[in-house]
Chain A
Amino acid sequence: MKLSDIMVPDAIIPELAATTRDEAIKEVISGLAAAGAIPKSRVNEVVEAVLQRENQATTGIGKGVALPHAKLKCVKKVVGTIARSADGIDFAALDSKPVYNLIVLLSNPNDPDEHLRAMETIFKHVQREIFRKFLRQSETKQAIVELIDEADELG
């Protein structure tokens, strides 16, 4: 599975307006709804699910990256997107440092395989320092899309 199979380009937010964790997640989910990736009527439900997971244990795995995710029935197929905060957001991350990039993943509970494939792909790229560095530096939607394509090409 490639990143471009998961990421919804129209929902990419190169400059988050939100300054807190909860607001950021709301902003991203709304963006996904606006792009048609999830039903607009379910935005609140999705936000709540993602926040619930986030409250159980932070998805801020350090090095400025957080991977908020949730499984919901209203999600037809696995979708995700990337958002960036230039100033950083407090996610109570494991390294106690701010989060500069959110990589959000939503999937359907009836398709655990798809969810896992998506996580594997995201993990693989997030592990690369150079990917994280470029991601943090990508200030436009186009730049992020290009980075995704490059990463997919790299394999």
Chain B
Amino acid sequence: MEIKKGIGVSPGVAISTAFVLDAEEVPIPQRHVEPGKLKNEVTRLRKATAASKAEIVELRDRMAAEIGQETAAIFDFHLRMLEDKVLLRNLGRTIRDKHVTAEHAVAAVFRDYAKTFLAMPQFMAERVKDVNDIQKRLLRNLIGQSRQVLNHLRRDVVLLAHDLTPSQTANLDRRHILGLATDAGGRTSHTAIVAHALGIPAVVGLKDVTVSVQPNDTVIIDGNRGVVIVNPDEATLDEHRQYVQRLVQVERQLIELRDLPAVTRDGHEVTLLGNIEFPAEAATVIEKGGAGIGLYRTEYLYLSSEVEPTEQQHYDAYCEAIRLADGRPIVIRTLDLGADKYTQDRALVPERNPFLGLRSIRYCLRHLDAFKTQIRAVLRAATTGPVSMLFPLITNVMELRQAKMIVRDVAEDLEEEQAEFIPDVPIGMMIEVPSAALMCDAFAKEVDFFSIGTNDLVQYTLAVDRGNEMVAPLFTVAHPAVLRLIKDVIRAGQRHNVSVSLCGEVGADPEYTLLLLGLGLRIFSVAPPAIPEIKQIIRSITIEQATQCARKVMTFDSDKEILSYMRDRLRHLVPDLQR
């Protein structure tokens, strides 16, 4: 049994078998295969060989047409290799004699060939490159077969990986994944967001859990305590099973809260909304007692398919979310990708510092067709329910105005086409960079609402990578600088009659609710599973208490003091909050 400590970023406890993803996004194939399964491996190899050959033929024909017969000749060479009966016999024999997977056979046999060629005179040694090429291609086709597995799991598992990117999680089989654990990542890493969305426990920042676990090991993921236990002994298993029972009970109590309003003890109304990534989650938000969707992250539309989504796909997704929100307001945020495989793969030259590069709104303003497509879908979908549009990562007024100009152009186009649409959808912007927070007064004059994105705001203000587990302790909203910015933005909103919501992960953190309310925040948008708990806190306190808490907190100058004080106040004011 091995106990590993990390950061619990999504509550709950899961006990299941491990499914491990290695750093290359590839399921680690087991080395050894049961004798009964060997035939299957040989078949897999045959299929991968055929697929590789087909790829090469296509490449060769294309090259021949585009560049010339001579360059295409190299592919003939590759083809000969894959047709080589001696090689294929070798591979088959390795699988059968050594009882290994097709991948391992390929790696072993090709390694031997490479060794032989490298030991030969110069002109043959160059052929090693070709041999490696074929090996890579074969492996890719073999592993590509297993990649399907992530989409169609046949049993419940907990997923362990070095890190999880949006493109990986976009296609997860959500019915069977009970928990997540990663080596990398911090509190607002992508894993946290997905885990919240799925309502499953997650622990990140474990540093080396993927090397401590074998596929199919039993694993406990405790998102509450931030602990992962590999191959727990019987006693530990029992203890956790009972823990899960208790949690289920607490969950039931929180469900009762659903239909009660989010009003403080002294009668102040708070708007509790939900963050969603997929349309279906809108139903979950309502189920948990949310008053609407405060943030619909549209990135998944782009990540879950190989090609850019069409206007119809956008439109269908938005209409579905609106329908499930059942008349409640929904805020749709335009594409917020970058610093991510999506834009980096498509970039001619990968950016050196994607987080500070061509992302989100900047990317959109340089790719107006994609931007317009999305806006068109939003304006059209707005006829079916109360929709607002939210622009991410606005750093200066000019780009905001340009974006608004594009919205007007889209409206003009739709008007000409005589399409049904709402021309004056409310437009808001994320406050997630220091420049936007510091200039919030100027921005307040140009938008209908603000949404504070604490995840990125903390990252850019404190210069801490939110996905880097090595600096994770430095990442905190409780830093006085961040709190000051939040307070200023809320005040500016009040001054200019612009509504201010907070959609970062911190909104779901019970330890911050008092403080945020005390700073004047009245609109929270959180991951759906957190809605009942936050509502319970709101209903248990008075704004007077919240204001006092905030006043006190703003006099501290270290985040540790602040956190400790908030924890204390929470315990005091909401004693029956199950944690």
Residues of A within 8 A of B (CB): 53, 56-57, 59, 61-63, 67, 69, 94-95, 109, 112-113, 116-117, 119-120, 123-124, 126-127
Given A94-B446, A116-B372, A124 and B401 contact (CB-CB distance below 8 Å) = no
Q: Is the CB of A61 within 8 A of B398?
A: yes
Binds A, one of B181-189, B267-275, B363-371, B549-557: B363-371
For A67, give its contact among B365, B397, B405 (CB under 8 Å): B405
**Distance of A127 Cα from B412 Cα, bound (Å):** 23
Q: Is the CB of B398 within 8 A of A124?
A: no
Q: Is the CB of B408 within 8 A of A56?
A: yes
Given A53-B412, A116-B368, A120-B366, A62 and B399 contact (CB-CB distance below 8 Å) = no
Interface size on B, residues (CB 8 A): 20
Q: Sorted from nearest, which 9 A-B pairs have the closest CB atoms?
A: A116-B368, A61-B401, A57-B408, A123-B402, A116-B369, A120-B368, A120-B366, A123-B365, A127-B398
Among residues of B, the one whose C-beta sits closest to the C-beta of A113 is B369
**Distance of A113 Cα from B399 Cα, bound (Å):** 21
Can you list 13 A-B pairs, Cβ within 8 angstroms, ordered by A?
A57-B408, A61-B398, A61-B401, A61-B405, A62-B398, A94-B401, A116-B369, A116-B372, A119-B368, A123-B365, A124-B366, A127-B396, A127-B399
Among residues of A, the one whose C-beta sits closest to the C-beta of B401 is A61
In the bound complex, residues from chain B placing their C-beta under 8 Å from that of A124 are 365-366
Q: Is the CB of B365 within 8 A of A62?
A: no
A60 to chain B, nearest CB (A): 9
Apart from the given pairs A67-B405, A94-B446, 12 other A-B contacts in the complex at a CB distance below 8 Å: A53-B412, A56-B408, A57-B408, A59-B405, A61-B398, A61-B405, A109-B416, A116-B368, A116-B372, A120-B367, A120-B368, A123-B402
A62 to chain B, nearest CB (A): 6
**Distance of A127 Cα from B367 Cα, bound (Å):** 15
B79 to chain A, nearest CB (A): 39
Contact with A along B367-409 (1 / 0, CB 8 A): 1110010000000000000000000000011110110011011
In the bound complex, residues from chain B placing their C-beta under 8 Å from that of A62 are 397-398, 401
For B398, give its contact among A63, A109, A119 (CB under 8 Å): A63
Q: Is the CB of B412 within 8 A of A120?
A: no
Q: Is the CB of B365 within 8 A of A120?
A: yes
Among residues of B, the one whose C-beta sits closest to the C-beta of A95 is B397
Contact with A along B240-269 (1 / 0, CB 8 A): 000000000000000000000000000000
**Distance of A90 Cα from B396 Cα, bound (Å):** 23
**Distance of A16 Cα from B66 Cα, bound (Å):** 51
In the bound complex, residues from chain A placing their C-beta under 8 Å from that of B408 are 56-57
For B402, give its contact among A61, A69, A112, A116 (CB under 8 Å): A61
**Distance of A17 Cα from B367 Cα, bound (Å):** 36
In the bound complex, residues from chain B placing their C-beta under 8 Å from that of A119 are 368, 406
In the bound complex, residues from chain A placing their C-beta under 8 Å from that of B365 are 120, 123-124
A6 to chain B, nearest CB (A): 14
Among residues of A, the one whose C-beta sits closest to the C-beta of B397 is A62
**Distance of A63 Cα from B402 Cα, bound (Å):** 12
Per the 8 Å Cβ criterion, residues 433-464 of B in contact with A are 446
**Distance of A147 Cα from B200 Cα, bound (Å):** 56
In the bound complex, residues from chain B placing their C-beta under 8 Å from that of A67 are 405
B411 to chain A, nearest CB (A): 8
Among residues of B, the one whose C-beta sits closest to the C-beta of A112 is B369
Contact with A along B545-578 (1 / 0, CB 8 A): 0000000000000000000000000000000000
**Distance of A42 Cα from B365 Cα, bound (Å):** 31
**Distance of A95 Cα from B398 Cα, bound (Å):** 10
In the bound complex, residues from chain B placing their C-beta under 8 Å from that of A123 are 365-366, 402
A24 to chain B, nearest CB (A): 18
Most chain A CB atoms below 10 A, which of B369, B402, B411: B402
A10 to chain B, nearest CB (A): 27
Among residues of B, the one whose C-beta sits closest to the C-beta of A61 is B401
B399 to chain A, nearest CB (A): 7
**Distance of A117 Cα from B402 Cα, bound (Å):** 14
B76 to chain A, nearest CB (A): 39
**Distance of A123 Cα from B398 Cα, bound (Å):** 9
Among residues of A, the one whose C-beta sits closest to the C-beta of B406 is A119
In the bound complex, residues from chain A placing their C-beta under 8 Å from that of B398 are 61-63, 126-127
In the bound complex, residues from chain A placing their C-beta under 8 Å from that of B368 are 116-117, 119-120
Contact with A along B457-479 (1 / 0, CB 8 A): 00000000000000000000000
**Distance of A69 Cα from B405 Cα, bound (Å):** 11
**Distance of A94 Cα from B367 Cα, bound (Å):** 24
B359 to chain A, nearest CB (A): 15
Among residues of B, the one whose C-beta sits closest to the C-beta of A62 is B401
**Distance of A127 Cα from B399 Cα, bound (Å):** 7
In the bound complex, residues from chain B placing their C-beta under 8 Å from that of A117 are 368
In the bound complex, residues from chain B placing their C-beta under 8 Å from that of A120 are 365-368
Q: Is the CB of B405 within 8 A of A56?
A: no
**Distance of A56 Cα from B405 Cα, bound (Å):** 11
In the bound complex, residues from chain B placing their C-beta under 8 Å from that of A63 are 398
**Distance of A95 Cα from B446 Cα, bound (Å):** 9
**Distance of A104 Cα from B519 Cα, bound (Å):** 46
Q: Is the CB of B446 within 8 A of A56?
A: no
In the bound complex, residues from chain B placing their C-beta under 8 Å from that of A112 are 369
Q: Is the CB of B397 within 8 A of A56?
A: no
In the bound complex, residues from chain A placing their C-beta under 8 Å from that of B446 are 94
In the bound complex, residues from chain B placing their C-beta under 8 Å from that of A61 are 398, 401-402, 405
Per the 8 Å Cβ criterion, residues 328-384 of B in contact with A are 365-369, 372
Among residues of B, the one whose C-beta sits closest to the C-beta of A63 is B398
B394 to chain A, nearest CB (A): 12
**Distance of A142 Cα from B416 Cα, bound (Å):** 38
B477 to chain A, nearest CB (A): 31
Among residues of A, the one whose C-beta sits closest to the C-beta of B446 is A94
Most chain A CB atoms below 10 A, which of B369, B401, B412: B401
In the bound complex, residues from chain B placing their C-beta under 8 Å from that of A56 are 408, 411-412
In the bound complex, residues from chain B placing their C-beta under 8 Å from that of A95 are 397
**Distance of A78 Cα from B15 Cα, bound (Å):** 62
In the bound complex, residues from chain B placing their C-beta under 8 Å from that of A116 are 368-369, 372
Per the 8 Å Cβ criterion, residues 404-425 of B in contact with A are 405-406, 408-409, 411-412, 416
Among residues of A, the one whose C-beta sits closest to the C-beta of B362 is A127
In the bound complex, residues from chain B placing their C-beta under 8 Å from that of A69 are 409
Among residues of B, the one whose C-beta sits closest to the C-beta of A69 is B409
Among residues of A, the one whose C-beta sits closest to the C-beta of B372 is A116
In the bound complex, residues from chain B placing their C-beta under 8 Å from that of A53 are 412
